[in-house]
A and B are shown apart, each in its own frame.
Chain A
């Protein structure tokens, strides 16, 4: 088999298309007449550089063997933890977050690279065990510890949004690693039920009943089913009490701003209203490149980073936004596919870990941009401006390409 038949072109092309969509959107968000002379006007040139570096890294990575990466898993994880710790003390503080470390003039946001390092460390840990069960207490403890360390440090950076991503990948990894269906479902219950309780408590109750029913059907253990029911009740009541009793009215307004932004149109609701306005006014075909009034007149906050999807939606309409979603779907679906077919446990876990990082980012970022979720500032993978974020996601793709490319080599070292 020729090398180019073994290479996963779908993945690479999806990566390239998404990166170019990102470049176009960043160009529009930063090169309009309103942005000349502002701090963000140089972002486009920098992102072009990031793309170039990213491409070179991906290509170079294909000349290394998977064994190299496997061996790098632990040192990489430890190195990232150390840098994260250094960032806590020597980081550059921007807007209450201290998550950049200045290394030779390059601003490094270690929390972005940490995601891959964590995924690789977990994969390395689990695959090194001959037979593992996630219901084994010691295995689960080490697994959770591997995630808790970076979460702790990144929370110290003040970047709670990125911490959430780490927590978000837990259910996916556990589910993948063989946790029983019932327990996996119980893991996602808190997020789903808490979200629904804020929006509509009746819907939360209905969904809770359905979820508990499913838990009972897939996992007949009475203890699990009873725990699920108790957990659901505790979450709904707890969130409701927090909303009505514990939170001050203004805090409650912030929480509810994403469901009803009109409550506080110039405070918490501002971003939501402007983002919704940008997306909705794009219509089917959009206002045209560089023609989006929300974007060009800077009504959109953080439009080249967190709200970049609004720029695409406003200027290219449903066609542009739908295309972007389609390529993300292709990318993710392909990742899950190669993870599912891969023979080696390390590769399977790493690829599914990368896929879940992408998925959580996409859910949180697009949920925020389309006003389904509260405003949590995390980037849209490959599209948002940002060197660390772009390179980190590119390296993740590069690693997955590598693991897939050298799949046959694994057999020799297969566990």
Chain B
């Protein structure tokens, strides 16, 4: 049926059909707009708001840490951070970014990938703690770098004279595991890794704030949304007030410089730690902000293990410093009284000969502590284990806090070793050990290991008339508005300690300082000090020096335990250090600078990490 072209009838139909097509196209399009703008309005209107409003996290300032006099130990200082939102970032800008920050392209690429795996939509930190010049470089070129942003945050500063490395601990970026375990952390957040930064992490970190900002399609902020009415301000972390005495701490750290060992000074009434130092230590400020990777590697690789807190984690035989506790155990078990004498003719014979330093003759417990007579305690230990058994002794030693953890708010604390029969059975085998292994324990030698912290707790129990304190660094947590949460654990009474017997031991320790091995350096003119030196035999090299002491003799305020490894006799190594700390504590200054200088120059035998 061929259609003649330009047939008028056909043409009229064509015009009508085309008009119909035009009208129906417009009806269809209009219907579509009505559908979108009226029926889908409720769906897309919120999307358009969300599109242009972005939620940003505002990091709170971390809580401050003060010493017992209110001096600032740990503060915050501004730190410049470059952030990235990977979604909006153009990978082609990596060379530009590398040029502006003076960081290699590979490193930038790696950091970008890291941020991308964390989240493509969320803003995360790319470079932390950049210097101000780099920061302003980036700021000027932000318009060329979509997806890149900057912010000013806080980093830890350490304004005080004391380093307190192990006590305060350091911060490090959260791990992937921590991020999945807690909704709080985001990539690049810092979290306390050791010390009180870790123990009090939840108090110090504060609450994050939220800020709503209007942003454009490139994610660039255009100012607050809704005049900031929906914003939630961050809440600063809680401040910690510690029991640390910064000046005392400084003295301890200075005197430990170049040596290996640990010092603990605490208040025997409360258990508050006044000073706690371990040598060698490290510099927290170099781990704050952007971690100094080479320093971190050096610290980790150092054979002297600076990260190891010797004040709470090193284990050495306590040597003669265990004798005051031995005396109390002996008297409590009724094996001796405060007046019982034991004759020393230069040693003790039981299966074999146990040597004493010299012939002391007849000795009471007080005299035996003063002269540090080994014979007395060999004999006593012999009777304890033969009449009552090793495990009775072990439990009583544990009551002094030796061989058990104290639960102090410190990290890295170890339990220590005060052996019982189970231990010997396990290590030597059942019936494979005997009296010889146990008698040595009477003078703190052999299979025994305690930390300076444990010796300080035991000494405090003698000083405060028989209470085991729970040592702690943080005294109180202060809330905004002046409220305080006090952290003052009650000391625990050691029930079996008898005041009369304790007095004999205290007298012995006092005499040890006035007339015995402590008299050269630890004896102060105006303050009565009581103490006991100790020397831990070290089969691998020079002996380790111990000193425990407290003062004033009546109503003691401070207990000090010092361990200097490879330093020889406690009387000439550890005791002068404690003496200097007593001077600092009681006088607020060093009265015998020559002793101070001597201690500064004191060089212990070279430390051999393979053998100690």
Contact = CB atoms under 8 A, between A and B. Distances in A.
Contacts of A321: 33, 37
Nearest to B46: A281
B5 A131 contact: yes
Nearest to A279: B36
B5 A176 contact: no
A186 interface: no
Contact of B44 (A280, A284, A325, A345): A280
B1 interface: yes
A298 B218 contact: yes
Interface in B22-63: 22-23, 25-26, 29-30, 32-34, 36-38, 40-41, 43-45, 47-49, 51-52
A279 B6 CA distance: 43
Contacts, number: 145
B37 A317 contact: yes
Contacts of A332: 22, 26
Contact of B22 (A178, A277, A333): A333
B3 interface: yes
Interface residues of A, number: 57
Contact of A34 (B12, B38, B44, B216): B216
B48 A293 contact: yes
A257 interface: no
Given A280-B37, A281-B41, A281-B47, A175 B18 contact: yes
Contacts of B41: 280-281, 283-284
B217 to A, nearest CB: 4
Contacts of B91: none
A297 B22 contact: no
A376 interface: no
B47 A293 contact: no
B18 A176 contact: yes
Contacts of B6: 178, 345
A370 interface: yes
B33 to A, nearest CB: 5
B26 A297 contact: no
B94 interface: no
Interface string B499-533: 00000000000000000000000000000000000
B5 A318 contact: no
A313 interface: yes
B15 interface: yes
A178 B47 contact: no
B113 interface: no
Contacts of B48: 277-278, 280-281, 293-294, 314
B481 interface: no
Name which of B2, B7, B216 has the most chain A CB atoms within 10 A of its CB.
B216
B372 interface: no
A302 B503 CA distance: 92
Given A34-B222, A363-B25, A297 B215 contact: yes
A336 B18 contact: yes
A257 to B, nearest CB: 17
B19 interface: yes
Interface string B277-296: 00000000000000000000
Contacts of B218: 298
B10 interface: yes
Nearest to A180: B3
Interface stretch (A47-55, A101-109, A132-140, A393-401): A132-140
Given A297-B217, A372-B32, A221 B18 contact: no
B217 A298 contact: yes
B87 interface: yes
A157 interface: no
A175 B13 CA distance: 11
Interface string A262-299: 00001000000010111111111000000001100111
B14 interface: yes
A183 B44 CA distance: 43
Interface in A355-369: 355, 359, 362-363, 366-367
A250 interface: no
A305 B377 CA distance: 99
A352 interface: yes
A284 B37 contact: yes
Nearest to A341: B15
A78 interface: no
B33 A370 contact: yes
B440 interface: no
Interface string B192-235: 00000000000000000000001111100010000000000000
Given A297-B222, A336-B15, A362-B25, A277 B5 contact: no
A198 interface: no
Contacts of A299: 51-52, 216-217
A177 B216 CA distance: 51
A7 to B, nearest CB: 22
Contacts of A175: 14, 17-18
B33 A313 contact: yes
Contacts of B18: 172, 175-176, 336, 340, 352, 355
Interface in B322-342: none
A333 B4 CA distance: 26
Contact of A284 (B11, B32, B38): B38
Contact of A325 (B3, B26, B37): B26
Contact of B1 (A221, A322, A329): A221
Contacts of B12: 340
B5 A280 contact: no
A4 to B, nearest CB: 26
Name which of B6, B49, B87 has the most chain A CB atoms within 10 A of its CB.
B6
Interface string A103-135: 000000000000000000000000000011111
B5 A178 contact: yes
Contacts of B7: 178
Nearest to A131: B5
Contacts of B2: 133, 135, 180
Nearest to A286: B37
A371 B2 CA distance: 41
B30 A322 contact: yes
Given A178-B5, A284-B38, A339-B15, A297 B44 contact: no
Given A178-B5, A297-B215, A279 B37 contact: yes
A189 to B, nearest CB: 15
A359 B33 contact: no
Contacts of A280: 36-37, 40-41, 43-45, 48
Contacts of B37: 279-280, 282-284, 313, 317-318, 321
Nearest to A134: B5
A2 interface: no
Interface in A306-355: 313-314, 317-318, 321-322, 325, 328-329, 332-333, 336-337, 339-340, 345, 352, 355
Given A298-B218, A321-B37, A366-B29, A277 B3 contact: no
The 9 tightest CB contacts between A and B, nearest first, are A280-B44, A340-B15, A281-B48, A178-B5, A297-B216, A293-B52, A299-B217, A329-B26, A318-B37
Given A283-B38, A336-B19, A337-B19, 15 more contacts: A175-B17, A180-B2, A219-B1, A221-B1, A276-B40, A278-B48, A293-B51, A297-B214, A299-B217, A318-B38, A329-B23, A333-B22, A336-B15, A362-B25, A367-B29
Interface of A: 34, 131-135, 172, 175-178, 180-181, 219-221, 266, 274, 276-284, 293-294, 297-299, 313-314, 317-318, 321-322, 325, 328-329, 332-333, 336-337, 339-340, 345, 352, 355, 359, 362-363, 366-367, 370, 372
8 contacts: A177-B5, A280-B48, A293-B48, A294-B52, A299-B51, A336-B22, A337-B15, A345-B6
